[in-house]
Amino acid sequence: MYNASDPKCPPGEEAQMMRGLYERLLLPKMAPHQRLGVVPGLFGDYSKPLGPQDDDLLAKINGFVAWAQREPRIALVNAWHYADLGAPPNTKVVPNHNHQRDGPYVRGAYAFPKLLARLRALGDAVNASADR
């Protein structure tokens, strides 16, 4: 299920908003053996300061992880997207949809230090539980 988040919804509350949609529209239609994945958008904008975006994205991933830990039907949290999309600012490229230089979806999760540390910690926890 895709939902373009309400721009007025604070990032820390996006998971709660999505949870409401899933509980109303999707989960009641699932068979007991079925599982689902959620894909929070963890991207930023080169034209905005890094720090506040990092804090917002950290709140967003924490909300989705907390939801996944409480909901046994969530089998996957897959962040979108890790690397930058297109070319970084101030590079010479032929403009097209694959090489946009700015906008709200271009900067990847790797560019945000707090978010990246959290994603690595989550990966470490998954790997540790797989080793048991």
Boundaries of every domain in the chain: 11-130
Give me the pLDDT at residue 5, please: 58
Give me the pLDDT at residue 62, please: 96
Q: What average pLDDT does the chain have?
A: 84
Q: In this structure, what DSSP letter does residue 86 have? A: S
Give me the pLDDT at residue 106, please: 82
Distance CA 63, CA 85 (A): 24
Query: Residue 33: is it exposed, middle or buried by C-beta count within 10 angstroms (0-12/13-18/19+)?
Result: exposed
Q: How far is CA 103 from CA 45, 48, 53, 99, in A?
A: 5, 9, 13, 11
- The overall longest dimension of the chain from CA atoms, in Å, is 52
48/67: higher pLDDT? 67
Examine residue 99 and say whether the peptide bond preceding it is cis (omega within 30 degrees of 0): no
Give me the pLDDT at residue 96, please: 45
Give me the pLDDT at residue 91, please: 54
